[in-house]
Each structure stands twice: as C-alpha cells, then as structure tokens.
Amino acid sequence: MLSTVPISSNKNHVIPRVLRLELPSQNAIPLLLDSPHSGTYYPEDFGYSLELAKLQQNEDNHVNELYGLAPQYGAALLEALFSRNYIDLNRAADDVDPEVVDAPYPGARPSPNSKLGRGLLWRLMSNGDAVYNRRLSVAEVKARIESYHRPYHQLLAQQLRRLHREFGQVWHINCHSMSSVSGAQSPDGKVGVERPDFVLGDHFGTSCEPAMTQFVHETLEKMGYTVDDNVPYKGAELTLAYSKPALGFHSLQIEINSKLYMNEETREKNAGFDKLRGNLTSLVTQLSRFVTSRVVKDVHAV
C-alpha cells in the first residue's frame, strides 16, 4: 500500500503515481479545477483481463493538458495520475458493486452506477465488455481506497476549504471528456446518439449558483460550441460531495466531446487540440474575472 504524504495547503503537492496539485504562483483566486480521469498509470496489482487498448477508451485522455495553463491565471489545478479504471474518483468510497467483490463489503452502498457495472470499481466498460475475469478481495478494495481514492478526496476538500476561508466563497470546475456518441452504458440509456460539444452538469441547479452555469454556457456558445446542461451528465460524486452553494461552495462539471481534440480510437491528439486548449484557457481567464467580480461584490456587500 502506498503511504499518504502529509498535505501542504500553500504549495504544489505531488504523490507519485497518485496525484499532482499545481497552485498559482501569484494572483490566486478562489477557483479550483480538478481532472480525476485523465491519469494513465496502471498499478501492478490491477489484475484486469481486458485488453489495455480497450480499457484506455474509458479515460479522459489529455484533459489535464487542455486546462494546463489555468494556474497562470490564478486557478489551482488538481489531477489524478492513475487510470480511473483502477478506482473511480468520481464515485463515493462506499459505492461498491457486490458483483465486483468476492465477499460482502462492509458498509457498501451501491449506487445506480454500480448496478450498471460502473461504480467505484468498474465491472463493465461503456460497451459492455467485462473488466475482470475474477472478483476482487475486500482487502484489495480497501487498499485502493486508502492509497488512491482517499488522498485525492482529502486534498480536494482541503484546498476548497482553504480557498473558502481566504475568500468567503470558492468555485470548483470538475473536468471531464465524453465519447462523441452514446454507448450501451450511457446514463440516458440510449445508444448511438451524437453528443454536443459540451455538457455542463450542476445537478439540475443544486451544486452551484445558476449564474455560474449560465456564464460558462454562454461563454462556450459565443466561441461557437454546442452546449447542453445536465443531459446526459448532471455531475457525480466530486461535484455533489463538495458543493454547498448556500454556504459559498460552488461545483460545476464540464464534459468535453472527445472528438474535438483527439482520435477516439488511438487516443492521440488531433488537429483540434491546440484550438480547444486556447479556447479553454480563454474560458479560465473569463472565469477568473467572473469569480473576482463575485468576491468583490460580496466584500462590498458586507
């Protein structure tokens, strides 16, 4: 089991093969972006049976790079370094599928995602392929949680609380990519549906102030992109667990259509990568102004 390194609240932080946090060197604002599914490291004890190339279809490749300039504009950037196929950070720690483990898991509370085979430990890929030809032991699951899932969630929560203490409010962007066409395990239950360029998820208006969702929606549309809200992705654990808009904790999930920036089969960047990265950097700069204006407004209201 990997040891959890003590977490600092005022400087960059790395746990090798687990996570990386980059903080702005100056002009920090209460904006934090996290990319939980762009990691590519596969721990040796994974024990998967599916071909690696097929497993990699489940990753949000290069999303961390698309937002990589965010710290230059005052935002913090947190990214996972391991594959979400090993353990999914966007699930609760107790979202354990009973069909994944070889014995009853203490305190398990499987969600609808687990029932579809894509809970904390994915059992089925989006096309229905099985990830394992075995069941995991309870000890294996606990080790993955302690070494990979818990450190990421602890650091994210700590950084959000720190920014909230310093500024009175904090805005969190949960960064993902989605396949261009829906598959067999899509949350809307439809297959072969073409996706828009972006889907924004705010749990139907409950995980962040509506003004934030509207601002991002309109900013992306002005760039020429098609944008939908909450369908088919409304957000999951990482936006739900740390959002309390009434108390100044705002979380918004952004899903990017993978075809905008990469070949979905080979997972290699395509000709659209640089343009998209430039536009997302512009989004971050505009969000920084939005966040700053909200903080200043609240200060003047006191």
Mean pLDDT within 52-78? 96
User: What are the tens digits of pLDDT across the range 138-174?
Assistant: 999 999 999 999 999 999 999 999 999 999 999 999 9
Q: What is the DSSP letter of 244?
A: B
- Could you tell me if 277 and 66 are in contact, meaning their C-beta atoms sit under 8 angstroms apart? yes
User: What are the tens digits of pLDDT across the range 215-268?
Assistant: 999 999 999 999 999 999 999 999 999 999 999 999 999 999 999 999 999 999
Domain range summary for the chain, segments of one domain joined by +: 13-85+139-301
pLDDT at res. 155: 98
CA distance readout (Å), 257 to 39, 41, 197, 273: 18, 23, 5, 12
Per-residue pLDDT band at 117 (split at 50, 70, 90): very high
Domain at 13-85+139-301, CATH homologous superfamily:
Zn-dependent exopeptidases (3.40.630.40)
- Strand, coil or helix: what is 267? coil
Q: Is the pLDDT of residue 291 over 70?
A: yes
Token look-up 């392929």 returns 129
Mean pLDDT within 15-32? 95
Q: What is the pTM of this model?
A: 0.93
Nearest in space to 63 (alpha carbons), one of 174, 153, 181: 174
* CA dist., res. 267 & res. 258, Å (int): 9
